[in-house]
Amino acid sequence: MTEPIPVFDERPDRYKGYRGAARALLERERVGVWSDVLARTSRGDFAGIILPRSETADDRHIVIKMVSGYNVGLAVANVISMVERGYTEAHYKVPEKEFPVDGGKPNVVLFGTGGTIASRLDYRTGAVIPAFSPGELYGSVPELADVCNLRTEKLYGVFSENMAREQYIGLAEAIGRAIREEGIDGIVVGHGTDTMHHTAAVLTFMVQNPPIPIVMVGSQRSSDRPSSDAALNLIHAAKTAGTSDIAEVLVCMFGPTSDEYGLLHRGTRVRKMHSSYRSTFRTIGDIPMATVDRDEIVPLRSDYNRRREDREVTIDAVFDDRVSIIYYYPGMKADVIDSLIDCGYKGIVIAGTGLGHVNKPLYPALKRAHDAGVHVYMTVQTLWGYVQMYVYDTGRDMMELGVVPAANMLPEVAYMKLCWALGHSHERDEVKRLMLTPISSEITRREPHDGYLIYQGGLPEVAEFVAGNLK
């Protein structure tokens, strides 16, 4: 069945992505996106379908997809003429298969915040079309049906770096409703990985004492590629949400880079540690909660909140985002802090050097901040270890200026917690009480020896370990 070719002037978006010289050429030749053209150029003839152009690309080339499936760009300056021979518009539609319901399987809700958990390719255009509804997900990750019954709800469609106050509150409230009103067995939150640990931390503070697992998941390799970690992560997360007895906010991502097992990290102690590796999420200063694979969940520790039958949960979704993080560097000037005070910020988390230090020239600014009612907390940029401000005089000086040591809270976690605490109160002692009373291990009483393990490559014993285990 061939579709009628739409009248040229009535085609919507016929110059999609083209501007300047490239657009002028298309207008002159009366061809556009999805036109199947024969182009005469000074470098010879080229035939193919004109594709939309990326907005960020230059205006000197036209992109066509040839019969071979390859895309090539034709320089506008080289094009002599273009003749439309046909028209092939891409259709964006994801096939759906009904997600089977099995009364014997746990019920899981998947909240989407953005990013793609699963997707499908449109080979004509190269577009990656996200799959999200249960039917779409079942079509691309059919194993999910072996694990749970699934309901999905798209809350947001933002990149994870654009998650902020509004989304945190909305997400926490949606989780509360799902727990109280739906009688579900677990929640999965699909999230971009960049700020997944920020959201995991704030959810821990906003959703307290949940009766079921709340599992955050994402992927480090996009789901359009055969090697993606997305499907396996999603299967692990759904399994954890549906069957694990850890009723806490967890991050579920690859343990090793191999397709072997996932790790369940506590939402307040986890951090993205590599810009691209699959095994990027690591528990810092402690060990993870459990491992998860297709067959089982193996706890690595026993000090966690157990799954409950009741539907009680404390939703405490407040957030004052007038807080900033200062990543200290040698030679930092006081005006950095002054400007935050002047701009009306109410909280500052400092990632200090070593045990938690900044240089003397900042002291006046810190005092000024204190006097202005700004809450200042100290964390360490070493990530591992505790703030200890008694060891050196400078630390004691700073405490006198009102800087509060935040123990071994990770800087991002301290940031999220200070936003949350300031949502409750601006009274100094109350904020301090909220900050320093751990809700879920954001401050731990002790650091075990194996909470800090960064093996150094190149050493013979490490080489032996690596050779004997999958990476």
Residue 140 engages another protein in binding (rule: CB under 8 A): yes
Residues contacting residue 214 through CB under 8 Å, at least 6 positions apart: 175, 186, 187, 189, 203, 207, 241, 248, 249, 250
Residue 20 engages another protein in binding (rule: CB under 8 A): no
Interacting residue with another protein among 104, 226, 344, 460 (CB under 8 A): 226
Which residue, 125 or 167, has its beta carbon nearer to another protein? Answer: 125
Q: Which stretch binds another protein (CB under 8 A): 107-115, 154-162, 203-211, 223-231?
A: 223-231
Residue 459 engages another protein in binding (rule: CB under 8 A): no
Residue 466 engages another protein in binding (rule: CB under 8 A): yes
Task: Please give the single-letter amino acid code of residue 182.
Answer: E
Which residue, 88 or 381, has its beta carbon nearer to another protein? Answer: 88
CA atoms 392, 397, 399, 400: torsion sign: positive
Residue 460 engages another protein in binding (rule: CB under 8 A): no
Residue 471 engages another protein in binding (rule: CB under 8 A): yes
Residue 80 engages another protein in binding (rule: CB under 8 A): no
DSSP string of 397-445, one letter each residue: HHHHTTPEE-TT--HHHHHHHHHHHHHH---HHHHHHHHHS-SSSSS-S
Relative to beta strand 249-254, strand 262-266 is antiparallel
Q: What is the Cα–Cα distance from 156 to 436, expressed in whole angstroms?
A: 32
Site for another protein in 87-116 (CB under 8 A): 90-91, 94-95
Residue 44 engages another protein in binding (rule: CB under 8 A): yes
Which residue, 23 or 346, has its beta carbon nearer to another protein? Answer: 23
Residue 147 engages another protein in binding (rule: CB under 8 A): no
Residue 37's nearest CA partner among 87, 78, 83 is 83
Selected catalytic residue, list 194, 320, 338, 397: 194
Diameter of the chain measured on Cα atoms: 82
Interacting residue with another protein among 11, 16, 60, 432 (CB under 8 A): 60
DSSP string of 52-88, one letter each residue: P--TTS-SSEEEEE-TTS-EEEEEGGGEEEEEEEEE-
Total of residues contacting another protein (CB under 8 A): 62
Which residue, 453 or 470, has its beta carbon nearer to another protein? Answer: 470
Q: Rounded to whole angstroms, what are the CA distances from 419 to 120, 251, 306, 345, 347?
A: 38, 21, 28, 11, 8
Residue 352's nearest CA partner among 319, 320, 399, 419 is 399
Residues contacting residue 154 through CB under 8 Å, at least 6 positions apart: 111, 112, 132
Interacting residue with another protein among 55, 104, 276, 449 (CB under 8 A): 276
Place of tokens 């396996």: 232
- Whether 153 and 174 have beta carbons less than 8 Å apart is answered as yes
Residues contacting residue 460 through CB under 8 Å, at least 6 positions apart: none
Selected catalytic residue, list 116, 195, 204, 243: 116
Selected catalytic residue, list 152, 193, 199, 268: 193
Please report how close the Cβ of residue 72 comes to another protein at its closest, in angstroms: 4
Interacting residue with another protein among 14, 61, 239, 271 (CB under 8 A): 61
Interacting residue with another protein among 5, 16, 24, 78 (CB under 8 A): 78
Interacting residue with another protein among 80, 121, 298, 459 (CB under 8 A): 121
Please report how close the Cβ of residue 117 comes to another protein at its closest, in angstroms: 13
Residue 193 annotated as catalytic? yes
Residue 272 annotated as catalytic? yes
Active site residues: 116, 193-194, 272
Q: What is the contact surface with another protein in residues (CB under 8 A)?
A: 41, 43-46, 56-58, 60-61, 63, 66-75, 78, 90-91, 94-95, 119-124, 126, 128, 139-140, 220-221, 223-228, 231-232, 256-260, 274-278, 457, 463, 466-467, 470-471
